[in-house]
């Protein structure tokens, strides 16, 4: 995640790059964006810790979530976004900070289900470049990248007055990580962002966009997620983030992803050379001493596919039929035994219930009917060959 630029960005930069004091009063973004770090090259990830010491810390993000090494924690309740849909028709600000596309969020959007109340600050995306070994997401699950990742950043508004004050504190931030993969269909909710990227192609450009329901960008299942303590994934890499990475992935179409990957520049409008804004994701960091908790266990039922559900339904049906057969068998046996017991008090006990059943399957009534039918058949066939008719009509030959 990236909490640079934007309304509170000046505070970070003060400590980092003193030249960024070109903040214009009334404007919500830094006029001169911090370009003192990049994802690759001479100012790339491996060099971050030289200028931003916390980037070399032991609780950095993102991480690879190894699901077999996660620890189930029953206390991790479903998250409850509050006011995500109540944007009050005030437009959102979308801007290109040279590292990603950021949308500022109103702080009446809050997040429940955490130890404190957190208020929204902004959201932004990380993506790849569509290459064959394409990554894109920051977090990975069992070593697997998704195509992109959305981060919704919140600050602890119970303990701190604003995001700038919170972001360097250990319990300052809570970020939602949403893994994005390619699906068959376009995701209309993501068009609320993607359709406007053409208006902020160059770094430092910004545009007002119609507000929309931010929850529509989240997965449906907010109950199943991974939780760990980590950091901002961009300089200054403060280790202040309570991370929530959802288990359910969100889908966008290939065309939507392609637009995201190819439309923005990290260079400014006036720069002599245009630089595509691609592969803006950080490599996964060592977990070190940390534990990743899971709000669910791998075997819990919600994960069933429709195929599995069908198999289970069929299984249950077969089970019921089997049970019915057994019950019928028992009832018949009991009935027969009772009957037999009444008719003949002293019968040899060597006959097993199977013998009893096979030898006596037709009930008295049925046997009557069958013999009647047989007689009719016999009468019909008398005109034909008698030997054949005798064979067929013999009731004993029917087992
Ligand atoms: C955030 O809060 C701190 C402490 O109250 C204050 O000094 C600072 O000006 C605030 N920053 C912004 C951007 O409002
Ligand atoms: C994060 O750190 C805090 C403070 O050290 C600790 O109480 C909490 O259990 C940690 N949470 C996770 C998910 O590791």
Confidence grade of residue 265 (pLDDT, cut at 50, 70, 90): very high
Tell me, yes or no, whether 76 and 182 share the same domain.
yes
Tell me, yes or no, whether 325 and 352 share the same domain.
yes
* Closest listed ligand to the CA of 114: 2
Q: How many whole angstroms separate alpha carbon 64 and alpha carbon 142?
A: 6
Q: What is the pLDDT of residue 18?
A: 37
For 29-78, write each residue's pLDDT tens digit.
333 345 489 999 889 999 999 999 999 999 999 999 999 999 999 999 99
Question: Which of 99, 151, 154, 247 is flagged as catalytic?
Answer: 99
Q: Is residue 132 part of a domain?
A: yes
The Å distance, Cα 162 to ligand 1 centre, comes to: 6
Between 280 and 134, the higher pLDDT residue: 280
The Å distance, Cα 229 to ligand 2 centre, comes to: 6
Q: Which of 85-89, 103-107, 180-184, 220-224 has the lowest mean pLDDT?
A: 85-89
What is the total count of domains within the chain? 2
Q: What is the pLDDT of residue 6?
A: 40
Of 239, 269, 303, the residue at which a domain comes to its end is 303
Tell me, yes or no, whether 27 and 119 share the same domain.
yes
156 in Cβ contact with 170 (< 8 Å): no
Q: What is the mean pLDDT of residues 242-263?
A: 97
Of 303, 323, 348, the residue at which a domain comes to its end is 303
Tell me, yes or no, whether 110 and 203 share the same domain.
yes
Q: Is residue 106 part of a domain?
A: yes
- Strand boundaries in 15-136, DSSP class E: 64-65, 71-72, 80-82, 92-96, 101-104, 110-112, 118-127
49 in Cβ contact with 56 (< 8 Å): yes
Q: What is the pLDDT of residue 379?
A: 54
Tell me, yes or no, whether 316 and 180 share the same domain.
no
Tell me, yes or no, whether 87 and 149 share the same domain.
yes
Tell me, yes or no, whether 160 and 218 share the same domain.
yes
Q: Is residue 3 part of a domain?
A: no
Tell me, yes or no, whether 163 and 242 share the same domain.
yes
Tokens describing residue 344: 């003949």
* Closest listed ligand to the CA of 169: 2
Q: How many whole angstroms separate alpha carbon 356 and alpha carbon 358?
A: 6
For 361-378, write each residue's pLDDT tens digit.
444 445 445 555 555 555
Of 268, 284, 303, the residue at which a domain comes to its end is 303
Between 356 and 125, the higher pLDDT residue: 125
Q: Give the closest residue (by CA) to ligand 1 atom 10.
A: 162
Q: How many whole angstroms separate alpha carbon 152 and alpha carbon 294?
A: 19
Q: Which long-range contacts (CB under 8 A, 24 or more apart) does 262-267 make?
A: 262/130, 263/197, 263/198, 263/201, 264/96, 264/101, 264/197, 264/200, 264/201, 265/96, 265/201, 265/202, 265/203, 266/38, 266/98, 266/99, 266/203, 267/98, 267/202, 267/203
Confidence grade of residue 212 (pLDDT, cut at 50, 70, 90): very high
The Å distance, Cα 3 to ligand 1 centre, comes to: 15
Q: What is the pLDDT of residue 334?
A: 72
Confidence grade of residue 340 (pLDDT, cut at 50, 70, 90): low
Tell me, yes or no, whether 33 and 180 share the same domain.
yes
- Ligand 2 nearest-atom number relative to CA 291: 14
- Ligand 2 nearest-atom number relative to CA 290: 14
Domain hosting 336: range is 304-359
Q: Is residue 384 part of a domain?
A: no
Give me the CATH number covering residue 177. Answer: 3.10.200.10
Tell me, yes or no, whether 134 and 154 share the same domain.
yes
Tell whether ligand 2 has an atom less than 6 A from the beta carbon of residue 336.
no
- Ligand 1 nearest-atom number relative to CA 163: 1
The Å distance, Cα 109 to ligand 2 centre, comes to: 24
Tell me, yes or no, whether 236 and 143 share the same domain.
yes
Q: Give the closest residue (by CA) to ligand 2 atom 3.
A: 229
Tell whether ligand 2 has an atom less than 6 A from the beta carbon of residue 227.
yes
* Bridge partners of residue 181, in order along the sequence: 251
Q: Is residue 141 part of a domain?
A: yes
For 135-162, write each residue's pLDDT tens digit.
999 999 999 999 999 999 999 999 999 9
159 in Cβ contact with 165 (< 8 Å): no
Q: Provide the percentage of residues in the chain whose pLDDT is more than 70.
A: 71
Of 58, 229, 240, the one to substitute when testing ligand 2's pocket (max ligand atoms within 8 A of C-beta) is 229
Q: What is the pLDDT of residue 317?
A: 80
Q: Is residue 389 part of a domain?
A: no
Tell me, yes or no, whether 250 and 124 share the same domain.
yes
CB atoms within 10 A of CB 336: 15
347 in Cβ contact with 340 (< 8 Å): yes
- Flag whether the pTM goes above 0.85: no
Q: Give the closest residue (by CA) to ligand 2 atom 6.
A: 229
Active site includes 247? no
The Å distance, Cα 2 to ligand 2 centre, comes to: 22
- Ligand 2 nearest-atom number relative to CA 73: 13
């Amino acid at each position: 995640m990236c909490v640079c630029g934007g309304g509170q960005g000046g505070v970070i930069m003060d400590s980092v790059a003193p030249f960024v004091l070109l903040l214009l009063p009334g404007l919500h973004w830094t006029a001169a964006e911090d370009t003192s770090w990049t994802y690759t090259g001479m100012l790339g990830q491996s060099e971050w810790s030289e200028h931003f010491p916390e980037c070399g810390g032991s609780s950095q993000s993102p991480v690879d979530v190894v699901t077999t090494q996660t620890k189930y924690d029953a206390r991790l309740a479903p998250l409850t976004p509050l006011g995500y849909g109540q944007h009050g028709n005030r437009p959102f600000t979308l801007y290109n900070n040279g590292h990603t596309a950021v949308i500022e969020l109103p702080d009446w959007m809050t997040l429940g289900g955490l130890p404190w109340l957190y208020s929204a600050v902004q959201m932004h995306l990380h993506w790849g470049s569509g290459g064959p070994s394409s990554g894109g997401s920051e977090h990975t699950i069992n070593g697997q990248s998704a195509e992109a990742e959305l981060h919704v950043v919140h600050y602890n508004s119970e303990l701190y007055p604003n995001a700038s004050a919170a972001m360097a504190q250990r319990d300052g931030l809570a970020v939602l990580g949403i893994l994005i993969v390619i699906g068959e269909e376009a995701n209309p909710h993501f068009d609320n962002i993607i359709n406007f990227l053409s208006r902020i192609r160059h770094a430092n450009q910004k545009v007002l966009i119609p507000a929309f329901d931010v929850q529509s960008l989240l997965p449906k299942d907010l109950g199943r997620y991974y939780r760990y303590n980590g950091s901002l994934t961009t300089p200054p890499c403060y280790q202040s983030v309570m991370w929530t990475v959802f288990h359910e992935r969100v889908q966008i179409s290939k065309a939507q992803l392609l637009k995201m990957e190819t439309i923005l520049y990290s260079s400014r409008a006036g720069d002599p050379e245009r630089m595509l804004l691609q592969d803006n994701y950080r490599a996964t960091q060592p977990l070190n001493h940390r534990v990743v908790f899971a709000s669910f266990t791998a075997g819990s039922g919600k994960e069933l596919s429709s195929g599995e559900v069908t198999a289970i339904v069929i299984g249950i049906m077969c089970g019921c039929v089997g049970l019915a057969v057994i019950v019928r068998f028992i009832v018949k046996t009991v009935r027969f035994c009772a009957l037999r017991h009444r008719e003949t008090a002293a019968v040899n006990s060597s006959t097993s219930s199977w013998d009893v059943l096979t030898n006596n399957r037709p009930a008295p009534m049925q046997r009557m009917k069958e013999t009647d039918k047989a007689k009719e058949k016999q009468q019909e066939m008398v005109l034909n060959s008698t030997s054949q008719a005798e064979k067929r009509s013999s009731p004993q030959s029917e087992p």
